[in-house]
Amino acid sequence: MEGGMSREMDGTKKALRDAMKFEMDGREFFMGAAERTSDYFGKIIFNSLADEELKHIETIKVIDRSLREKGRWPFPEDHEKNERENIFEIARMEMDEIVKDRTDDLQAVKIAMDFEQKGFRFYSGLAKEATDRREQEFYQRLASEEQRHLQILEDTWRTLVEYSSSSLG
């Protein structure tokens, strides 16, 4: 039984490392997109998403610390006290090509929408694989937040399309 728990913990640690890298690369991507976009509204959205990724990073750190120090997933109140494919890493490495100074805001939002959708699938998959209820809930919450980010970006997309259409007419 102990060997099984150790393998589960190793899997959990790897999933957390992957999630940390995913969130750090995502934050870097959104910060770069905010710098490169010329649209004021786009800058606000990208900076806001970068801040959200920072919150995810802090949550992952709290969980990692609890697993190392207490050998268990933190309870929700523990977090409140402390307030496999990595798509963001690829995007960050190719940032100059993906979000150029001249890339229009619609393209930047479309790229971000694709990333958030991949993030949703990534965390949904981790939630399905999780054996601990708190671990499963954590990944489900991250998947839900990625889905919320996608909805924000879809609203941004529609607003920019409407703005573009009305400014051409």
106 burial type by CB count under 10 A (0-12 exposed, 13-18 middle, 19+ buried): middle
CA 65 to chain centre: 20
The pLDDT, as a whole number, for residue 89 is 53
Q: How many domains does the chain have?
A: 1
Closest C-alpha to 11, from 140, 121, 128, 146: 128
One digit per residue, pLDDT tens: the chain, 169 residues? 445 556 677 788 889 999 999 999 999 989 998 998 877 777 888 898 999 999 999 999 999 998 889 888 886 554 444 334 444 555 555 555 545 443 467 788 888 898 899 999 999 999 999 988 999 999 999 999 999 999 988 988 888 777 666 655 5
The pLDDT, as a whole number, for residue 115 is 87
22: domain CATH number is 1.20.1260.10
Residue 110's SS3 state is helix
- Domain containing 104 equals 2-168
The pLDDT, as a whole number, for residue 10 is 78
What is the distance between the alpha carbons of residues 96 and 93, in angstroms, rounded to a whole number?
8
Phi, psi dihedrals of residue 132, rounded to the nearest 5°: -90, 135
The pLDDT, as a whole number, for residue 51 is 92
The pLDDT, as a whole number, for residue 80 is 41
The pLDDT, as a whole number, for residue 155 is 87
Closest C-alpha to 78, from 86, 90, 69: 69
